[in-house]
Amino acid sequence: MGCVGRGREIFFTPKPRDDNLFGRNKELEKLLSYLHDGVWVAVLGPRMVGKTSLAKSAVRRYVQDKNSMGIYINVASCGSFGEFSRKVVDSIETAFKAMKSQRRLKSISLGVYISDPGGILKTGIQFNVDFERGRSAVRNFVSAVNSLPPDTVIILDEIQEVRNRKDILLRSLWEIYNERPDLRIIFTGSYSGVLKALFTAGKKEAMFGRPPEQLVLSPWPVKTAEEYLLKGFEKCGIEYGHSEIADAIMTLGTLPGWLTLYGYKRCRGEPHERAKRLVRDEAVLKAKKELMNYVSTRTEPYKTIKLLKSLSEGPKRWSELKAVSRLSEPALSEVLEQLTEELGVLKKNELNRANVTYEFVNELYREAAKYLSTAEIEKR
């Protein structure tokens, strides 16, 4: 997030950016290698860890290298497959109508990156969405995606929010996977909903046991977080104290998104304490939503909530979590692995075999877990 105006360089920006990725070089190279291999990828991790920025940065580089097309579509607001299909078709239609109106469809070269809802960089190929008003959402979605130029990369951001008729979405993706092996799809989100279904589908189900590759993002190391804030404040030109940077990291953790929002508010003139408080309040609410999204995917959600609320008290041993949650050993192993490896909201402290504890990666998730409610499950 960035400093704005007054001749200063923009560093902190309110929205994910793809032109100045910080602290993710290894992950960027790995994602690019997946794209060049022609596989589908799921970028996983906690909210605000930088999944969208990483995906956008990789796609921008890839389309420039391969002279192909990339399109970013945020589907976070799409609760049903119908809404999801409409958003994808509308995004593609809007993007290419904009290109036509700007008279940019004159050659056959590509190298185009389209950012939701249709920001155009450059293009050079005609595109027509085969869309019919009376046709099913499945056919419209599949037709729109299949009409994309060769080697297109699609980013479907926050796809775990699509909850209604995941079975239809999975079958549609499998159809595209078969018909257009040249296309690449990057899914971003947490290990829940559609993404969980993609990874756990059996041989007789959608995707036929061919899940995407996984790229899990973890919070930054403390040193990287410190370097990020220092660099941003210097470019922004504001006065700051090193104790403020340490306090911000202690309170907000090292998730890039929250540090970026804090930096943005500081560069906009907010004092340290107020900027920290505003970001913390927003972060706890979103962390709670993320945890509830995961809980809703479990076959024993009430037991999972007991486990999370126990962890909100501080680090816990395996035996303690098993006793309080009453989950079976296989179920407890699965939950802890997913929360640690796929979602990245827990960390495992292993001093030796006899001394293994689990705790939240930062105070934001620990605080959010205190407010989890079994009543919310019944509303879903």
Residues 6+ apart with CB under 8 A from 334: none
Q: How far apart are CA 149 and CA 48, in angstroms?
A: 31
For residues 310 and 327, the answer to whether their CB atoms sit within 8 Å is no
Which candidate, 214, 368, 349, 351, places its Cα nearest to that of 305? Answer: 368
* pLDDT tens digits, 83-118: 899 899 888 877 666 555 544 444 333 445 555 433
SS (H, E, C) 239-297: CCCHHHHHHHHHHHCCCHHHHHHHHHHHHCCCCHHHHHHHHHHHHHHHHHHHHHHHHCC
Q: Which strand ranges, in their side-by-side order, compose the sheet holding 153-157?
A: 112-115, 69-74, 153-157, 184-189, 41-44, 213-216
* pLDDT tens digits, 255-287: 999 999 999 999 999 999 999 999 999 999 999
Query: Three-state DSSP class for 371?
Result: coil
Query: Three-state DSSP class for 138?
Result: helix
The one-letter code for the residue type at 241 is: G
Q: How confident is the model at residue 127, as a pLDDT?
A: 43
Structural domains in the chain, sorted by start:
25-216 (3.40.50.300), 222-288 (1.10.8.60), 300-379 (1.10.10.10)
Residues 6+ apart with CB under 8 A from 114: 69, 70, 71, 72, 91, 95, 120, 121
Per-residue pLDDT of the chain (380 residues; tens, 9 = 90+): 334 444 456 789 877 776 778 999 999 999 999 999 999 999 988 888 999 999 999 999 998 888 888 889 998 888 888 889 989 988 887 766 655 554 444 433 344 555 543 333 333 334 444 444 445 888 889 998 988 888 989 999 988 778 777 788 888 888 899 899 999 999 998 766 677 777 766 545 545 556 789 898 888 999 999 999 999 999 989 999 999 999 999 999 999 999 999 999 999 999 999 999 999 999 999 999 889 988 988 899 999 999 999 999 999 999 999 999 999 999 999 999 989 887 788 989 987 767 889 999 889 999 999 999 887 776 65
Considering the entire predicted model, what is its pTM?
0.79
> Sign of dihedral through CA atoms 173, 177, 178, 182?
positive
Q: How far apart are CA 249 and CA 263, in angstroms?
A: 11
